[in-house]
Amino acid sequence: MVAGQPCHAPAGSPKYQWLNPNRWTLIGYQLGSFGNGSIGDCLSPGIANTDFSVYKNFKVKERVTVQFRMEFFNLFNKAQFLGNFQGTQNITANLDTSATKCATSNTICSVSVNPTFGQATADKGPREIQYALKLNF
């Protein structure tokens, strides 16, 4: 983690940028050692989902019933954002032998970062409703 960098994207960032990609880096990281980041340090938007179902049984004959069901997924139609929030920043270490400082100190000297890291790039979709008829005999 980079000291002084906030977890979430600073003000003025695009509205789809959730995490601050400058908070984490591997430059200067000593290979074979532990980093200073912790699990749960910075959380994604999260998911708040409510599913609901209603059903009614109708008796057709003594031993035959029909059940009508209505099932709602994401009942309140709450936006649930998905994106590149998990894991690392898709970092590729480049330990070049011509970079003597990197080769002798066994540290990472350059990285390439996924440009969509920390962005809410999609959602789980809108409310879904399904109907069903079930025949029990």
* Amino acid at site 34: F
Predicted confidence band at 119 (pLDDT cuts at 50, 70, 90)?
Answer: confident
Q: Between residues 100 and 113, which one has the greater pLDDT?
A: 113
Between residues 26 and 77, which one has the greater pLDDT? 77
Write down the mean pLDDT value for the chain: 80
pLDDT at 107: 76
pTM passes above 0.75? no
120 burial (CB, 10 Å; 0-12 / 13-18 / 19+) is buried
Task: Specify which of 13-22, 34-43, 68-77 reaches the highest per-range mean pLDDT.
Answer: 68-77
- CA 47, CA 59: separation in Å to the nearest integer? 39
Provide the pLDDT for residue 87.
45
* Beta bridge partner(s), residue 130: 71
What string of DSSP letters covers the chain?
A: --TT--SBPPTTS-TTB-B-GGG---TT-BTTS--S--TTSS---------EEEEEEEEEETTEEEEEEEEEESTT----EEEB-SSS---EE---TT-HHHHHHTB---EE--TTBTBEEEE--S-EEEEEEEEE-
* Of 77 and 36, more confident: 77
Confidence class for position 41, pLDDT limits 50, 70, 90:
confident
The mean per-residue pLDDT over the stretch 31-42 comes to 78
pLDDT in tens, 79-90: 888 766 654 444
